[in-house]
C-alpha cells in the first residue's frame, strides 16, 4: 500500500476534472477489486462510525407503532487538497426532504467570510501563527432532539438470524437531517464557551480565548473546519490539542487551504489564491483567456447587461449555463476576487431570465477572470505592528466609496459601491456594489446613500475588532 492509502499499482485519483466518483453501490461492485477497495473501506468506516456514535440496530417489531420510517442514501467523494489526493469519504445521508422542521430548527451559522479575511489579514500584518483542524464526522457528535427510525441503505443493510431486515434508530445527528447543522453548531459553541472561549457578538462562529493579558488564540468555525490564529505558537498548539480532545478530528498543521482557497505563506505575508479551482473550472467549461493588446488590461464587462433585454419566455438551456457560471463567479468573488464586485452585481441582476446577449457578456467576464486567474489577494507583514505590544497602537482602518448618479437605464437609480481595507497597501477585506432602491434626486444624495452603506459595514468591522480586544 502507498502512504496515501491508495494501492501502489492503482493510479491516485485524478483531480484534473470534477466528478468520477461512483453514484451507487452497483457502480462500486462493477469496478476492478483494486479500484473499488478504497470505496468499500470508506463505506465500512462510515458504518462503524455510525454504530459507534449515531445509530442502534433493531428489528421492525421494536419500532413504536405510528413512527415514520425514513430512507437513507449514500454518497462517495474523493477529497483533494490543492489538487493532491487526501482521502476517500463515504457519507450516509438522511432523507431530509421528507422531514418536517421549521427554519428556526434548521438554521445553522457559519463564519462570515469577511471575518475569515480579517483574521487572515491581521495574521499577516502581525506575524501570527495560522493553523487549521478538521473535525471528523462532526454532526454525529450532537444528539437529536427527536429520535428517528430509518431503513439502512443497500450497501449497509444487515439481517437477523432469520433473514429479517434490521432497521436503524438514529440517536445522534446525521448528514442530511434538517436539524443536524443547528444542533452541531449549538453543541460546539456550548463546549467552547464552557472551556473558556468568548463567543463574539458580531460573528457567533468566531471565538477567542486568552492565556493571560498578552497571549491569545482566535478560532473561526466553518461547520467542521476551523482556522486558529495565535500570537504564540506554543499556545496555539495547546488550544488545537484541547479542541481535538473535545471532538475527534485531524490536525492540519499550518493553514495552507480553507474552503477551496490556497493560502501561501512567506516572510512578507500571505497570498490567498484560487488558481487551482479556477484552472479546473475553466477547463470544464472550455473557457479561454482574453487576448488583450500588449500593455493593456481588458474590461471585465464587454457591455452592461440590461433587464430590458430579457426575453418574454425563459430559455432553459441558456439559463442553466448562465446560472452555473454565475454561481462559480459569485463564489470566486466572495472568497478572493473582491475586485469583481461591480461586474458580479451587474450579471446577477438578469440571472432570473437571461438571453443570449447576457450569456455572451457573462462568458466575456469568465474569460477576463481566466486571463487574471493568477491575481491573488495579498496581505503583508507590518513590522511596527508585529513588534508593538498589544493595545499600544491606535489602529485605523480605511473605507472607500463611490457612486454613479442615475446610471442604471432600467430604473434610473444610482450604482454605488465600497471597499474596506485594514491598512493602506493591504488587500481588501470587504467590497460591495449595489443599485439604490430609489432614484436619487441629485448626485450628492447618491453619494450619501453609498457612504451610508459603507459606514454600516465599517461599523460592523469596528465592533468586530473591538471584540477581539487586540488594539
The pLDDT tens digits for 401-410 are 999 998 888 8
HSE, side-chain direction, 13 A CA sphere, residue 236:
23
Q: Please answer whether residues 335 and 113 qualify as being in contact, where contact means their C-beta atoms are separated by less than 8 angstroms.
A: yes
pLDDT for 42: 92
The conformational region for residue 462 under phi > 0 = left, psi -120 to 50 = alpha, else beta, is: alpha
Q: What is the pTM of this model?
A: 0.86
The C-alpha cell that represents 52 in the structure block: 459507534
DSSP-based helix, strand, coil % in the chain, nearest 5: 40, 25, 40
Which residue bears the cell 441503505? 153
Nearest to 427 by CA among 261, 272, 231: 272
The C-alpha cell that represents 142 in the structure block: 450532537
Q: 130-171 pLDDT, tens per residue?
A: 999 999 888 889 988 888 899 999 899 999 988 899 999 988
Ranges in the chain, pLDDT < 70: 1-19, 101-105, 294-296
State the DSSP H helix or E strand holding residue 185, giving kind and residue range, or none if neither: helix 180-194
* Helix, coil or strand: residue 271: strand
pLDDT for 104: 65
pLDDT for 4: 37
* Surface-to-core class of residue 186, CB atoms within 10 Å of its CB (0-12 exposed, 13-18 middle, 19+ buried): middle
pLDDT for 132: 95
pLDDT for 102: 67
CA distance 203 to 467: 10
* Surface-to-core class of residue 268, CB atoms within 10 Å of its CB (0-12 exposed, 13-18 middle, 19+ buried): exposed
pLDDT for 179: 85
Nearest to 227 by CA among 203, 265, 254: 254
Q: Please give the radius of gyration of the chain, using alpha carbons only, rounded to the nearest integer.
A: 25
CA distance 14 to 11: 8
Amino acid at each position: 500500500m502507498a502512504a496515501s492509502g491508495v494501492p501502489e499499482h492503482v493510479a491516485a485519483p485524478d483531480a484534473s476534472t470534477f466528478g468520477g466518483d461512483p453514484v451507487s453501490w452497483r457502480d462500486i461492485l462493477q469496478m476492478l477489486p483494486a479500484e473499488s477497495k478504497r470505496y468499500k473501506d470508506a463505506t465500512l468506516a462510515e458504518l462503524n462510525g455510525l454504530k459507534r456514535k449515531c445509530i442502534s440496530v433493531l428489528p421492525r417489531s421494536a419500532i413504536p407503532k405510528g413512527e415514520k420510517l425514513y430512507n437513507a442514501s449514500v454518497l462517495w467523494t474523493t477529497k483533494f487538497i490543492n489538487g493532491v489526493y487526501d482521502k476517500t469519504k463515504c457519507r450516509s445521508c438522511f432523507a431530509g426532504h421528507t422531514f418536517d422542521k421549521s427554519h428556526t430548527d434548521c438554521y445553522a451559522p457559519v463564519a462570515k467570510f469577511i471575518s475569515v479575511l480579517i483574521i487572515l489579514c491581521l495574521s499577516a500584518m502581525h506575524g501570527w501563527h495560522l493553523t487549521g483542524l478538521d473535525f471528523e464526522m462532526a454532526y454525529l457528535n450532537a444528539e437529536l432532539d427527536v429520535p428517528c427510525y430509518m431503513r439502512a441503505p443497500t450497501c449497509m443493510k444487515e439481517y437477523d438470524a432469520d433473514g429479517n431486515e434490521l432497521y436503524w434508530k438514529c440517536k445522534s445527528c446525521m448528514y442530511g437531517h434538517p436539524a443536524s447543522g443547528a444542533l452541531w453548531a449549538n453543541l460546539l459553541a456550548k463546549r467552547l464557551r464552557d472551556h473558556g472561549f468568548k463567543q463574539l457578538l458580531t460573528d457567533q462562529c468566531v471565538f477567542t480565548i486568552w492565556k493571560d493579558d498578552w497571549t491569545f488564540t482566535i478560532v473561526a468555525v466553518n461547520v467542521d473546519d476551523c482556522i486558529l490564529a495565535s500570537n504564540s505558537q506554543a499556545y496555539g498548539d495547546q488550544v488545537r490539542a484541547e479542541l481535538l480532545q473535545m471532538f475527534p478530528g485531524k490536525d492540519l498543521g499550518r493553514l495552507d487551504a480553507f474552503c477551496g482557497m490556497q493560502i501561501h505563506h512567506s516572510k512578507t505575508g500571505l497570498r490567498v489564491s484560487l488558481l487551482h479551482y479556477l484552472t479546473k473550472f475553466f477547463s470544464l467549461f472550455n473557457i479561454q483567456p482574453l487576448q488583450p493588446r500588449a500593455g493593456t488590461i481588458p474590461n471585465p464587462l464587454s457591455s452592461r447587461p440590461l433587464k430590458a433585454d430579457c426575453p418574454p419566455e425563459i430559455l432553459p438551456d441558456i439559463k442553466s449555463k448562465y446560472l452555473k457560471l454565475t454561481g462559480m463567479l459569485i463564489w470566486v468573488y466572495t472568497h478572493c476576487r473582491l475586485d469583481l464586485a461591480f461586474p458580479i452585481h451587474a450579471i446577477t441582476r438578469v440571472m432570473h431570465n437571461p438571453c443570449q446577449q447576457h450569456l455572451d457578456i457573462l462568458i466575456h467576464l469568465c474569460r477576463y477572470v481566466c486571463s487574471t486567474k493568477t491575481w491573488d489577494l495579498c496581505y503583508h507583514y507590518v513590522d511596527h505592528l508585529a513588534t508593538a505590544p498589544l493595545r499600544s497602537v491606535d489602529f485605523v482602518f480605511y473605507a472607500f466609496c463611490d457612486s454613479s448618479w442615475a446610471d442604471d437605464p432600467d430604473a434610473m437609480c444610482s450604482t454605488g459601491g465600497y471597499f474596506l481595507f485594514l491598512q493602506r497597501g493591504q488587500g481588501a477585506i470587504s467590497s460591495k456594489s449595489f443599485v439604490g432602491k430609489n432614484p436619487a434626486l441629485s448626485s450628492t444624495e447618491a453619494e450619501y446613500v453609498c457612504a451610508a452603506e459603507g459606514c454600516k459595514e465599517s461599523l460592523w468591522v469596528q465592533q468586530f475588532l473591538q471584540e477581539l480586544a487586540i488594539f
